[in-house]
Amino acid sequence: MLLQQWSGGKKEALDQLMPLLYDQLRRLASSCLRSERRDHTLRATALVHEAYVQLVGADVAWESRGHFYAVAARVLRHILVDYAKAQRRQKRGGGAEKVSLDEALVVGPEISAELVELDDALKLLESRDARKAEIVQLIFFGGLTYEETARVLGISDATVHRDLKMAKAFLYSELAKS
């Protein structure tokens, strides 16, 4: 309701929504960076602030809480991929070792190439099956549970499980090619 009021131009709604948005973004960012080493240069706070600025400045007609989760997950993914690309440019090194899909979701200079490859594979998946790509994005970048993902997308839990299994198989196959 507050998201829709804010979209409608009510500044008071944003004032009430700000602490809720920040807390949710903090949870999502922490989920994205949970396994990262302590001395990593991209902190959850920086990720939250960047995502917050982009979301608050976005000209989006928020339809629902689920819509917010979907957009927030996409924003976080793009920030992480941009960071990984910058790290990769700085490193300019080859010889990257293959890692699993779950490991590729941990952002750090040593695996920034894998995150970029994962992003490319996700883009390919999205062009072939947008719902499967959205499920991956919501679970891995958005930090949603399978049940929350099902609610956001308006599908059953079983469909989320089945689609995620197929999406992972596709992504593993694409990552194995590179």
In tens, the pLDDT along 83-118 reads 777 766 665 544 444 444 444 444 444 445 677 788
pLDDT at 90: 61
pLDDT at 145: 87
Would you state the structure tokens that stand for residue 146, as one six-digit string? 């399978």
Sign for the pseudo-dihedral over CA of 85, 139, 24, 63 = positive
Compute the distance between CA of residue 139 and CA of residue 125 in angstroms, rounded to an integer: 15
Query: Cβ neighbours of residue 49 under 8 Å, at least 6 residues apart?
Result: none
Compute the distance between CA of residue 151 and CA of residue 178 in angstroms, rounded to an integer: 34
pLDDT at 126: 95
Inter-residue contact 136 to 118 (CB < 8 Å): no
pLDDT at 12: 81
pLDDT at 41: 59
Would you state the structure tokens that stand for residue 73, as one six-digit string? 């997950």
Angle at CA of residue 72, ends 149 and 157, nearest 5°: 0
Helix (H) or strand (E) holding 63: none
Neighbours of 30 (CB within 10 A): 14
Residue ranges of the chain with per-residue pLDDT less than 70: 1, 31-43, 87-113
Compute the distance between CA of residue 137 and CA of residue 173 in angstroms, rounded to an integer: 18
Half-sphere exposure of 11 (CA within 13 A, CB side): 0
